[in-house]
Structure 1
Amino acid sequence: MRIHPLLLALTCVSALAQAKSNDLGLLDKTLTPMGSERAGNADGSIPAWTGGLDKAAGSLDGNGGYSDPFASEKPLFTITAQNLGQYQAALSPGQLAMFKRYPDSYQMPVYPSHRSARLPAPILADSRTNAGKTTLADGGNGLHDYARGIPFPLPTEGMEVMWNHMTRWRGGSYERFSSIALVRENGAVSYIRAQSLVSFAEAVTGLEPNANVLFMFKSRVLEPARLAGETVLVHEPVDQVVEPRAAWQYLPAQRRVRRAPMLAYDNSARYSNGLITADNIDGFNGAPDRFDWKLIGKQELYIPYNSYRLGSRSLKLDELVKPNHINPAYTRYEKHRVWVVEATLKPGARHIYSKRRFYVDEDSWQIAQVDQYDSRGELWRSSELHAIQHYDHDFTYNVLETSYDLISGRYYAGGLSNEEKAPMRVGFTAKTDDYTPSELRRWAK
């Protein structure tokens, strides 16, 4: 049950030959302004890009939930353990492993593909400027001459693709309320609800010129009561080798703000019970220096896409979060082209993963799927990022992020906003004073 190597090789050679060009005119011709291929694929299962979803594509309800522009569509087919052989060339090893682990319940309903990704015109203009000047710094651990937008719309290296993901436009700033679900192997579920704010450098006043800041982040737990008031603050540098991530935590029981140096690399992400690492949130984040990064090329893959139904505010969490995996009745998969990037742990470096393979959507630069291998080289965890196009703000972001432990049978589901009453707030301006350790304690109350 493996992707045929010749098929993948042929796909990748074609993609890399295109990507090695530095002709910015391609962004007006064969490539989209984001750097993806304008044309559809040979059999028509991936359509041509026609501009993505515009602001008239749908509407928001009173709780901030997005209407589904594709609500009337039915699945073209559903992939199951019984018909898996027909589709395995367009599935990742992690996806294939899910069918093997849960042959009686795991399914992937596949719908018509829609290339929904769209970015604001100013961000596309900045991305075009980046293509002519932005370079990797310090062996790929940072960026030179970067402001905002896509730094490498014409990528030639694995780290360039990963930086496109880490810096992708998400409205400049956003605030959202959401929950994490931790599901044990026996099906028992525990929830943690939190409020999070993120402000990228361009949306923060008071920063020094050319400050080594990608974004600032803070989060506080709202439920359960035993954890309420616990907060965390992160200053995320553009280059985390020159200047490591700065993090602080406030615990009400201690009534003091402490530095939190462990919120990086393979340390367990907060409240994940070890199911995801700190650098696994959002597919990948943080310093890349412990891995060697290789750009494999492109592949046509069935990935989570246009997951509006999964993010519906009319859906209850208990309808979605089920034993073993999320309820497949609410998922949506489409065939899209993805960049494939493989990260291999450097000799002498420490991380619980010896290898990771990332599948990055060519249009949005969002990681859609991650396969993660243990120290023995065995496939250990499979992660998926179910995203929608936020058509009112012209960016793509997750409505659900999952990480499945293929050995223990436990899983993590984050970003759940289905039962929230407040919409995601986007595009506000913050001050550096909003993201200080002293503010953290006040905000916790």
Structure 2
Amino acid sequence: MKRIQFAHSPIRRVIALASASMVAATLLSGCGSESGPPTLTWYILPDNGGSAARAEQCAAASGGAYKVRIESLPSTATAQREQMVRRLAAGDSSIDVVSLDVVFTAEFSHAGFLRPYTAEEKSRLTAGMLPAPVETGMWEDKLFGAPYKSNAQLLWYRKSLAAAAGVDPTSPSFTWDDMLKAAVGQGKKISTQGQRYEGYMVWINALVLSGGGEVLQDVEAGRNAKPSLASPAGEKAAEIVGNLARSSAAPVDLSNAAEEQARATFQSEQGMFMLNWPYVLAAARSAAEAGTLDQAIVDDIGWARYPRVFADRPSAPPLGGANLGVGAYSKHPDQAVQLVECINAEPKATKYMLDESEPSPYAASYDAPEIREEYANADLIRESIAEGGPRPLTPFYTDVAGAITQTWHPPASVTEQTPKESDQFVADVLAGRRLL
């Protein structure tokens, strides 16, 4: 999941999103009547052109088997889900391939919106991939989402300030408590995502998993799954969030901060530590080249594995990314699978990592000379993805995440009572007793 950033009537917003999507359709290789080869429509997550390039290459390489048209989804995870749920619930046959945030694969699979890949297709599509991303595309022992890109958050720090504080963030036993003490001692800030959106759920879930717990148990029970934040791991997670938010190390905008706000604070005079995705290093380098960021700041950036909750237990870095599914109502499912296989070939994933700063789900990508030249932290990214912790793989994820982020927000309000209160609210929402 990288940099998903994220009043009005929800119905009006849905209509507006639909209109914008129709207007923004981009034709890569023909459209219109199906008198010749079929035109496959791929709904993509917004990027800088990498997906369009892959689609164009695959259309050309198909030997006339298909053409490809892309439609760009909205920029936020919530809006992406709204648009696809609305279309697929109506049996939209124009959706041949769709890019989905990893947290929505279970929901769409459970609803019958996606065509499952056969066992043979799964074997081909996931060969050479790291197991953790593949698991995010599974539902009831079948692959519904082929990993398109993966991601894991890292700990970023200012090397000069860590040295001044006498701490080594790369130490295997470096904890959140160590980090908070060092930042407070230096009069600096810890940047992370505290806005009430998916990024905040990423933080809470990672803390709980790193502490040895789970946000939700028995996910296969559906709405009867057991919320489990009221546990030693959940209570420690609440302690970490509350202590940071009420400390001098909390950025003034913590309760409204998404990935880019966190990056801005980290690159300012106040920055010392940051939890964020790998793209931030490339973004900092680009800013230095453009003259908007001092090169000395870029040179001072260090990286390490996601910090531990307990010194004697390895962390579970937040796992993100996106998967490719084939629409259940596609008129051309066989060609759609062919397109997915072409789009997802390892060389294309490696190139996408270079062009878009989006990590590859393939283990071998991180050994490619061009990747190692561009990413000094390639081994750390691969390790973090391989040992990363997913958010709950439940078809009711939206309800679960919404209930948790609502009860844990703002971060400064989190206390030892929050996990218990959150469990009750999640259970009530799943059971239909309360609304978000």
Higher helix residue share:
2
For normalisation by structure 1, the TM-score amounts to 0.29
Higher strand residue share:
1
For normalisation by structure 2, the TM-score amounts to 0.30
Higher relative contact order (CA 8 A, sep 6+): 2
Larger Rg: 2
